[in-house]
Amino acid sequence: MLVELTVNGEWKSADCPPETTLLKFLREHLMLTGAKLGCDVGDCGTCTVIVDGESYNSCLMLAARAAGRDVTTIEGLADSQGVHPIQEAFEELGSLQCGFCGPGMIMSAKNLLDKNPTASRHEIKDALSGNLCRCTGYTKIIEAIEGAGRVMSSDKYPQSNTF
Amino acid sequence: MSRDMMPHFELIQPSDMDNAFEVLERYGEGAWKLAGGQDSYDWFKDRVKRPQAVVDLNGIEELKGIRETPEGVEIGALTTLAEIAESDLITGSFSLLAQAASRVASPQIRNVGTIGGNVCQDARCWYYRAGMDCYRAGGNTCYADTPEGMNREHCIYGADRCVAVSPSDTAPVLVALDASMVIRNSARERIVAAQDFFIGPDVNIERMTVLEPGEILTAIRIPSTWAGSTFYFEKVADRNVWDFPLVNIAAAIKMSGNTIEDIRIACAGVECVPRRLTVVEDVVRGSSRDEETADLAASSAARGAIPLNFNHFKIPLLENLVRRAIRDS
């Protein structure tokens, strides 16, 4: 079946079998391999993407259910001008070790900060509760998101920045 | 096994109920009703269930949304758990349900998982989910209830060949709030009390609910009977997120001063159906809410329980949850 959708602001389409998950669609049909396949059952959250302003496990969503919708993946966060404040904060603090959870962590964090850039530590933990990291113990990840939130809530941060 | 792969199926996305019933009828046994899919995809990925056609109900608008009615609140079966957790109508009058919905799985899953799916999800026994030929799967053995069987998560009530439990966080809430389920097929609509919606293995070992193959759960109605009561919800699980409850508890209490005028209390994780604790209700009704009443309630909570090899801990767990529900609500 033909699936057409917006990915990171670009209209994309590809033909795929109906049983294709959004994750497989992104990785194997659109060659966007940022979202990762971890547990395959919704436990780890490394496949997290944002669809129409909400975070989803792309391994537990049919590509067909994302048709016509607006999908943001980790590839949509950085451009030639620079990286997203969350990515910058992760880099500065060394929030990742192996990095496999990173795309999901950052998308969950972005989904939270887009709605609430002044989120408390408790709210950050809540928003990340569906994402597992087996290296870091989460401390630096949470600190980075707090820092990114401060950047995103400052007057200097362009509010029109959609990615 | 290759991962993130599902066996091929036809995907049908009806846009109205008539169309959905027509498709369900056409494919009969080969049809699979898909809501949020968070239970379904596990089955498909494990290749245990291989439907010919998956009928995605998400395009049917009338199955979605939360509406105020003269009798209370009506929640479309395809309303997501996240919407319920954040709805002003629900957090205002039935915060018990909002609390339970916010404790299901993870944020990502609550954004797509529906209340209809949460109450209709299949048994979570891993022997059954792994595709073993147990009683529930049409075989003639229960792998969980054997001397070596891993049954830490299984039932302490109502074992009847199968020892799986109701894994839902919202189901005991619906029982406690006297909710009713609206079920339709192509010809008629029927209303079933939440308490009668769930069925144990003694009634039908291959199903968890009264829902027939050609039927669709369209909505859940919550009467205003318990609106704004004193509520208590608690879920105990090995992991706070994503995991199913070992035991959860949902209570709605009507207080008059410090006296418990009336109460509904139910739990999941102990029986194949959400278990209403009528003995506890009888014990505390009319009593003052204090430590003594809470102790009395706790001591009556697990009466008649028959634990399996590895789940004796569920008895004190249930007792303590009941104690807290009465004392701390």
Instruction: State yes or no: pLDDT of A80 exceeds 90.
Output: no
Q: Does A45 touch chain B (CB under 8 A)?
A: yes
Q: Which of B59, B76, B97 is the last residue of a domain?
A: B59
Which residues 74-93 of B have a C-beta within 8 angstroms of A?
82
Contact B4 A24 (CB under 8 A): yes
What residue in B sits closest to A45 (Cα-Cα)? B108
For A106, the token pair is 């950052």
CB pairs under 8 A between A and B: 83
List, in sequence order, every beta strand (DSSP E) within B81-229: 180-184, 189-193, 216-223
User: What confidence tens digit (pLDDT) does each residue in B297-317 have?
Assistant: 999 999 999 999 999 999 999
pLDDT at A157: 83
User: What confidence tens digit (pLDDT) does each residue in A91-127 have?
Assistant: 999 999 999 999 999 999 999 999 999 999 999 999 9
pLDDT at B131: 95
User: What confidence tens digit (pLDDT) does each residue in B250-266 have?
Assistant: 999 999 999 999 999 99
> Do A19 and B7 form a contact (C-beta atoms < 8 A)?
yes
Which residues 67-106 of A have a C-beta within 8 angstroms of B?
none
Domain with A112 in it: 85-152
Number of domains in chain A: 2
Per DSSP, A15 falls in state: E
Q: Judge if B36 and B80 occupy the same domain.
A: no
Tell me whether residue A157 is in a domain.
no
Contact B56 A65 (CB under 8 A): yes
Q: Does B106 touch chain A (CB under 8 A)?
A: yes
Q: Judge if A109 and A144 occupy the same domain.
A: yes
Per DSSP, B26 falls in state: H
What is the DSSP track for B139-193? SS--SSSSTT---TTS-SS--BSB------SSHHHHHHTT-EEEEE-SS-EEEEE
For B152, the token pair is 């830490």
Give the domain CATH number at A94: 1.10.150.120
Judging by beta carbons within 10 Å of its beta carbon (0-12, 13-18, 19+), is residue B15 exposed, middle or buried?
A: exposed
> Do B172 and B268 form a contact (C-beta atoms < 8 A)?
yes
pLDDT at B1: 53
> What residue type is B242 in one-letter code?
W
ipTM above 0.90? yes
Q: How confident is the model at residue A159 (pLDDT cuts 50, 70, 90)?
A: low
Domain with B94 in it: 64-120+165-328
Across-strand partners of B236? B247
Instruction: State yes or no: pLDDT of A160 exceeds 70.
Output: no
Q: Judge if B228 and B83 occupy the same domain.
A: yes
Q: Judge if B54 and B175 occupy the same domain.
A: no
Please tell me the distance from the alpha carbon of residue B12 to that of residue B163, in angstroms, as a whole number.
35
pLDDT at B3: 84
Closest C-alpha to B59, from B35, B39, B43, B82: B35
Closest C-alpha to B265, from B329, B212, B198, B190: B329
Q: Judge if A72 and A6 occupy the same domain.
A: yes
Residues of chain B whose pLDDT is less than 50? none
Per DSSP, A79 falls in state: B
Please tell me the distance from the alpha carbon of residue A37 to that of residue B77, in angstroms, as a whole number.
30
Q: Judge if B107 and B9 occupy the same domain.
A: no
Shortest distance between the Cα of B111 and any Cα of chain A, in A, equals 7
Q: Judge if B48 and B174 occupy the same domain.
A: no
Please tell me the distance from the alpha carbon of residue B43 to that of residue A66, in angstroms, as a whole number.
21
Average pLDDT in chain A = 95
> Do B31 and B51 form a contact (C-beta atoms < 8 A)?
yes
Please tell me the distance from the alpha carbon of residue B10 to that of residue B13, in angstroms, as a whole number.
10
Please tell me the distance from the alpha carbon of residue B319 to that of residue B301, in angstroms, as a whole number.
6
Half-sphere exposure of B9 (CA within 13 A, CB side): 31
pLDDT at A161: 52
Give the domain CATH number at B219: 3.30.465.10
Across-strand partners of B246? none
Q: How confident is the model at residue A56 (pLDDT cuts 50, 70, 90)?
A: very high
Q: Does B231 touch chain A (CB under 8 A)?
A: no
Q: Judge if A69 and A89 occupy the same domain.
A: no
Please tell me the distance from the alpha carbon of residue B83 to that of residue B173, in angstroms, as a whole number.
16
Number of domains in chain B: 2
User: What confidence tens digit (pLDDT) does each residue in B44-63 have?
Assistant: 999 999 999 999 999 999 99
User: What confidence tens digit (pLDDT) does each residue in B170-186 have?
Assistant: 999 999 999 999 999 99
Residue from A57, A105, A128, A134 whose CB has the most chain B CBs within 10 Å, to mutate = A57
Contact A56 B108 (CB under 8 A): yes
Closest C-alpha to B235, from B208, B282, B186, B268: B268
Q: Judge if B95 and B199 occupy the same domain.
A: yes
Q: Judge if B101 and B184 occupy the same domain.
A: yes
The verdict on pTM exceeding 0.90 is yes
Element (H, E) at B326: helix B314-328
CA distances from B101 to B77, B93, B97, B199, B218 (A): 13, 14, 6, 22, 18
Tell me whether residue B313 is in a domain.
yes
Please tell me the distance from the alpha carbon of residue B264 to that of residue B250, in angstroms, as a whole number.
8
Tell me whether residue A163 is in a domain.
no
